[in-house]
């Protein structure tokens, strides 16, 4: 297998970053941080990761290898989904319309709002006493 057969993309969500490589004509296995995706993520996160593969134009199978770091399980799954969608577009430009229509190429820009001074959280206030 040569490097020409692999397609690379980066995905991000919250504070997580996923570096994703896809290989066309594979068996369809997904490897995350040198573990099978089924052992690394729970069933709900696996559904999130598989969304780009379900939105594909052609019925080709891909092997996916990913390195994910930062954040928690939800952020990592979202970053992997974003990176996988980008890598599938890099592999076949015809996938772009389907991925865009499914909203998989858009980076989710929502981040945790910072805690402000003089209050216990981002929005919560300390209890107010009138007298």
In the predicted structure, residue 67 carries a pLDDT above the cut 80: yes
- For residue range 94-103, list pLDDT tens digits in order: 999 999 999 9
10 forms beta bridges with: 19
- For residue range 14-33, list pLDDT tens digits in order: 999 999 999 998 899 999 99
Confidence band for 58, pLDDT divided at 50, 70 and 90 = confident
pLDDT for the residue numbered 112 = 96
Among candidate residues 9, 11, 10, 17, the one with its CA nearest the CA of residue 71 = 17
Confidence band for 2, pLDDT divided at 50, 70 and 90 = low
- For residue range 75-86, list pLDDT tens digits in order: 999 999 999 999
**3-101 under CATH 3.30.230.10, yes or no:** yes
Q: Write down the domain spans for the chain.
A: 3-101
pLDDT for the residue numbered 3 = 59
Does this model's pTM top 0.85? My answer is: yes
Torsion angles phi and psi, residue 24, rounded to 5: -65, 150
Confidence band for 62, pLDDT divided at 50, 70 and 90 = very high
Give the mean pLDDT of 104-115. Answer: 96
């Amino acid at each position: 297998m040569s490097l020409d057969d692999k397609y690379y993309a980066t995905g991000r969500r919250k504070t997580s970053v996923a570096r994703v490589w896809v290989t066309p004509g594979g068996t369809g296995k997904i490897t995350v941080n040198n573990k099978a995706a089924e052992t690394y993520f729970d069933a709900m996160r696996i559904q999130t990761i598989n969304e780009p593969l379900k939105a594909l134009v052609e019925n080709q199978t891909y092997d996916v290898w990913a390195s994910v770091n930062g954040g928690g399980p939800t952020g990592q799954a979202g970053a992997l989904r974003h990176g996988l969608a980008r890598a599938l577009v890099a592999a076949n430009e015809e996938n772009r319309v389907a991925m865009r229509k499914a909203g998989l190429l858009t980076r989710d820009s929502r981040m945790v709002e910072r805690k402000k001074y003089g209050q216990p959280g981002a929005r919560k206030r300390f209890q107010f006493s009138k007298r």
